[in-house]
Structure 1
């Protein structure tokens, strides 16, 4: 049994061992060194990471874990989640080849629905972990932990998933599952695991900054979204805590510890750009073993070559995806750009909102610009262009809202900017995809006024009459927003409002069908909303 962190000189030992625990997270479908959005090679992905992992395994004992959001995020994952559902899933094939020891479930696994994530789980040669995915009988839907052995040491791996999933996803995607508080769940399982293991690792699909998303989860009465750091502070017993979900990188430089009461923290970014590495050096004698040092760092894999196994895998799965993303669905008469879509109305944002209105009988539509780097040139519009414009697997909902709630929704959204020092500034605490724009009404956002009183001149587009604050309207929005994502509906007092419609098609399909229906798009904008700033 490991006795705790000590310098080797304090106790006589007969053997030193080095164990490497390797982490990936938020791969989001980046299996091959290829960017399916740009349709060109890229310097990232599991194909490169695998080469580096094999180098470690040739010399040392290793453990390999992932902290979630693996099976969503690129046209490749969409194709094998939704279109070809017969073939073995390439992401799981890749993970099996890499011999992962454990995988913690992320919110984007759940987003794919039970058919997809259970198909992937059944194909996996490794356990899917989530100790806080509880059912009514207090059991867990996913396995809570695993204990494995390396270097004659027992290693416990506890998986936790962000409990903020109800803020983004409809409960039909996780029937019967309740997502419990991470701190409470970690406390429960540390008591179970710590007496059984020599090394305890937390693999969490959750970031380390508890303030990120805190306002929104509080509005909805949910536990903390990014609670990995809180677990590290409040739940003693972990040697290492690996995070995910937030896509940031930690540590920025190599971190070394000989403090047994302070778990080292690591999160290896996203999209397979980095490999997270934890090194644990243990000493042992005839009676016991003990950790004498632990270190964590990140390794850039940009210059690493693709592994041979992944070259073979790519030959099986790659071409079908290329054929899919290169399919033509319409024509663009003009150059269309999203660069200024969060500052003024644009043809691309108008396209999304008009597609939502066309597909439903809604009066008003809300949508956000997800990517300010979209450029569609004159000529054929292809499926890959829709992915650049709309990268998420959202569905389309229609929610009943009063005029006052619509105004309050837009007031909340307007917090993305503020006026200071003679400039329109971006609120760094708010993601750009939480700045919504409307169609079906015209309005202004006046940043000379205080927050909560900025939205004015709201007129219905079809009649030019004023929005009736007491009347109910049918409002189209994506499933993320309708489930409370971003906090807009809770802030507007509309979280419990009636959902009038849920689409069976995902938003990308709705956009593609709309473009095929109208045949072409062009750079014509109705400029139904504008930002007012001091002159």
Structure 2
């Protein structure tokens, strides 16, 4: 009897052991950052105070998660990491000898893969090529193609194994870059359609690599649209739905946090996840893989967005990069001049402002143009009266745009402004309406959740006297009275116009949809471009003059004033708590 029990027990143990050998569960973790925009330290070098999000907080989160997942944690970045803060600018253009602080930090944190974003391309070949070469991991770009031979400029995808599970990650970027950036920044390259590229490389990945998990790392948002009549922008959802094979699609670019599942054309579930910007959130995806007889039999995918502001910046990270922090602080603290009054960007949404008109004056002076176009680039930025420092310039001018000079007719200038103010202002039906065109559920906390349209497209003009009738529909809002010097303005005359390179390449479509120019027209109309960004010239301008007396030029106004003046005060109180 005892013998039977022993034999039975051995049989059970052998059977259990065999089952264990045949079936096991593997837990994988995928962490995505995106649109960090130079927010490496938990400190704003622009505002010179402690700041939200940051790579330092991500480092603390990843360190904690690796204690559980070890090598089964895959850390990835989805682009727009090289632009937006003095920390990136300094290592892009000032200290070009040291290892780029971004590459240094990402290597230290053990990033496994990166992807290119449009603002990374905006830094120019010298910057992004250097950064890519310094990264100890692949930076992807399946639809970034060399024009010389038609081959990908960067690896289209990467393959990695974790606990025997084969993972493929395909990287794509929005192809609309030629509509925003001057060709000298991406010379020798083209940007192919995302969906066509995904179909091509999915076939290669499936046939050649035979992975267990396929992840899309797409620097593009969700709401697809055509830009410049030929570039499909924000096509991530289209790709996820129409190109079967993706298990997870990590997206970015649009700064809109989201986490959801959709069905592709075959009915398979695809997780879509976007951590917005500034490393305030990360995409936190857990994949539970069931393996039997050495093959994946089942997979459970769960995603969530994890708040990095709940984490204390990693002390080891901060200690490691303290020399870079010191160098950056010295850079932004350098005095360049003096302002006799405080200027604020919020005023620019409600009428002429000293904030925007300072940029107008600079653009006119540098270019020798007759007319200037520019928009407020920050929702609620301020430069205080007193000494002005390098860091303040990142508040005044947010992007690394060049200054273009172009030839436009009077009619094109009017139509350009019609498009701008259509996106900017509400068509008022009564004195109690909003002056500004606001989202239905506006927050008053930032431009993207407050305004119906992107505020970086709210261009005003200097050099001409004009009115904006907010009771009229698009096409009838703008009346140009004269040139600012009192001379007549003619719809048929060609004028020399100063504007930033983003706009001059078709960005925001004010020149294309508004003025009616084609992409080919834009190239022909270009007279000149600066070789350095506008912020550089702003710093030079202030440094040379030392004392700046900021003032609104008052060359345009909203009408009828009996409606618009009270409406501006109401909207100022509502959105900015000011009037």
Q: TM-score, normalised by structure 2?
A: 0.86
- 1:188 pairs with 171, 189, 200, which one? 200
Distance 1:350 1:256, change over 3 A: closer
What residue in structure 2 maps to residue 519 of structure 1? 546
After TM superposition, what 4+ stretches of structure 1 lie above 3 angstroms from structure 2? 255-260
Q: Is 1:88 aligned with 2:88?
A: no
**What secondary structure does 2:414 align onto?**
helix
CA contact (8 A) 2:375 2:458 kept: yes
What residue in structure 2 maps to residue 4 of structure 1? none
Q: Is 1:360 aligned with 2:386?
A: no
What residue in structure 1 maps to residue 534 of structure 2? 507
Instruction: Tell me the C-alpha RMSD between the 2 structures.
Output: 2.0
What residue in structure 2 maps to residue 176 of structure 1? 188
CA distance in 2, matches of 1:131, 1:272: 25
**What secondary structure does 2:269 align onto?**
coil
Structure 2: stretches of 5+ with no match in the other structure: 1-19, 439-450, 564-579
- 1:98 pairs with 94, 98, 109, which one? 109
Structure with more helix by fraction: 2
Q: Is 1:229 aligned with 2:225?
A: no
Post-superposition CA distance 1:259-301 (Å, at most 9, x none)? 9812100011111111211111111122422333111101101
- Taking the TM superposition and a 5 Å limit, the aligned residue runs for 1:232-247 are 232-247=240-255
**What secondary structure does 2:309 align onto?**
coil
What residue in structure 1 maps to residue 506 of structure 2? 484
CA distance in 1, matches of 2:539, 2:270: 48
What residue in structure 2 maps to residue 6 of structure 1? none
CA contact (8 A) 1:356 1:477 kept: yes
For the pair shown, the structure with the greater C-alpha radius of gyration is 2
* Residues 499-508 or 510-519, more deviating: 510-519
CA contact (8 A) 2:125 2:185 kept: yes
Point out which structure has higher relative CO (alpha carbons under 8 A, 6+ apart).
1
CA distance in 1, matches of 2:231, 2:328: 38
- Taking the TM superposition and a 5 Å limit, the aligned residue runs for 1:124-523 are 124-136=135-147, 137-195=149-207, 196-210=210-224, 214=225, 217=227, 220-251=228-259, 261-415=268-422, 416-420=424-428, 422=430, 423=433, 424-426=435-437, 428-462=451-485, 464-491=486-513, 492-495=515-518, 496-497=521-522, 498-523=525-550
Post-superposition CA distance 1:417-459 (Å, at most 9, x none)? 1224531241544211101011111111111211011110331
CA contact (8 A) 1:257 1:294 kept: no
Post-superposition CA distance 1:54-103 (Å, at most 9, x none)? 22212111111111011111001101100100001111111101111111
Post-superposition CA distance 1:86-140 (Å, at most 9, x none)? 0011111111011111111001111111111111011010111010011232210
What residue in structure 1 maps to residue 570 of structure 2? none
CA contact (8 A) 2:259 2:271 kept: no
CA contact (8 A) 2:414 2:480 kept: no
What residue in structure 2 maps to residue 3 of structure 1? none
Distance 1:395 1:256, change over 3 A: closer
Residues paired across the two proteins, number: 516
Structure 1: stretches of 5+ with no match in the other structure: 1-10
CA distance in 2, matches of 1:209, 1:13: 44
**What secondary structure does 1:154 align onto?**
strand
CA distance in 1, matches of 2:554, 2:177: 35
CA distance in 1, matches of 2:429, 2:269: 42
Post-superposition CA distance 1:171-215 (Å, at most 9, x none)? 1111121111101111111111124211000000001122xxx25
CA contact (8 A) 1:403 1:473 kept: yes
Q: TM-score, normalised by structure 1?
A: 0.93
Deviation, structure 1 residue 256: 11
Deviation, structure 1 residue 524: 2.9
